[in-house]
């Protein structure tokens, strides 16, 4: 299990990051188009910071899933995905209850079920926001991979490519 003073699955290092629970993958857009949207938001072209997180702007893969309009790249240079309003004062806005009751307290299964070593393995293997998020949210796949290879450097290139394809295919079922 991860802890707040150990590895943070949302920001584990190695260039990996995650906003999956906020709906980072729930778009009927290509990865490139999603990233363009994230860059624009990070550059200040996003929604007003007090817009409710359940408001979405694009067609979703899964209608009942999140697609929060505050997910973006805080720094487009390193492509780290994050909540762009996490440190804002939203008191008095329509999002206050959801923000304080859910956004500030939610921990996914990766926090509860994965060890620091397993999270770091996923982070070093993928080093991005897209596949890393999918891998830690597919614990069956991650644990099998970790058991077989132990270190990211031991994963053959063709295995990695097949894994990335498999994770992309899983998005429809996961969100």
Q: Which residues pair with 77 in a beta bridge?
A: none
Which residue of 7, 110, 114, 122 would you call a contact of ligand SF4, by CB under 6 A?
110
Q: For residues 162, 158, 29 and 95, what is the CA-based torsion angle, rounded to 10 degrees?
A: 80
Give the number of other Cβ atoms within 10 Å of residue 34's Cβ.
19
Q: How far apart are CA 8 and CA 99, in angstroms?
A: 20
Which residue of 20, 27, 73, 131 would you call a contact of ligand SF4, by CB under 6 A?
20
Which residue of 7, 19, 46, 123 would you call a contact of ligand SF4, by CB under 6 A?
19
Which residue of 7, 16, 34, 71 would you call a contact of ligand SF4, by CB under 6 A?
71
Q: Is 171 in the site for ligand SF4 (CB under 6 A)?
A: no
Region at 156 (left for phi over 0; alpha for psi -120 to 50; beta for the rest): beta
Q: Is 57 in the site for ligand SF4 (CB under 6 A)?
A: no
Shortest Cβ distance from residue 123 to ligand SF4 (Å)? Answer: 11
Q: Is 62 in the site for ligand SF4 (CB under 6 A)?
A: no
């Amino acid at each position: 299990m991860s802890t707040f003073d150990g590895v943070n699955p949302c920001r584990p290092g190695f260039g990996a990051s995650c906003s999956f629970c906020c709906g980072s993958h729930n778009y009927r857009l290509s990865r490139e188009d999603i990233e363009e949207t994230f860059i624009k938001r990070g550059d200040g072209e996003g929604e007003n910071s007090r817009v409710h997180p359940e408001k979405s702007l694009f067609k979703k893969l899964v209608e009942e899933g999140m697609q929060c309009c505050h997910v973006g790249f805080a720094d487009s240079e390193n492509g780290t995905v994050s909540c762009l309003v996490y440190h804002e004062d939203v008191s008095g806005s329509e999002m206050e209850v959801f923000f304080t009751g859910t956004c500030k307290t939610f921990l996914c299964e990766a926090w509860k079920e994965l060890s620091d070593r397993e999270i770091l393995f996923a982070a070093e293997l993928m080093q991005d926001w897209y596949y890393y998020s999918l891998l830690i949210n597919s614990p069956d796949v991650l644990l099998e991979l970790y058991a077989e290879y132990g270190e990211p450097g031991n994963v053959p290139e063709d295995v990695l490519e097949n894994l990335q394809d498999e994770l992309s295919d899983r998005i429809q079922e996961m969100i």
